[in-house]
Amino acid sequence: GVSMAEGEGLVSVDYEVFGKVQGVFFRKYTQGEAKRLGLVGWVQNTSHGTVQGQIQGPADRVRELQEWLRKTGSPQSRISQAEFINEKKITALEHKDFQILK
């Protein structure tokens, strides 16, 4: 439930990752890392070769995933940059889990 996260401050942020991030299990690894951190949201490939999505959860955990999206990614990926926009405080999570969208 969300009760654990109360008081920590929940945030929502949209992201887009550029580089060699398609066809390298990037979405699967992102989902795994998000679940490990207890975050919710989604990830999908775009038609222009990037990966984008949304992350929601306790601010400090969201920061961890942002750092991971900037530097780590999946083993075969090569990230050139990660952009984060529309960051805002939220009172409740808007997703049940972290999904890979087709």
Instruction: Find the radius of gyration of the CA atoms of the chain.
Output: 13
Cα angle vertex 78, ends 73, 84, to 5°? 60
Q: Counting every residue, how long is the chain?
A: 102
Alpha carbon distance 80, 25 (integer Å): 16
Instruction: Give catalytic residue positions.
Output: 27, 45
Q: Rounded to an integer, what is the distance from CA 72 to the centroid of its chain?
A: 12
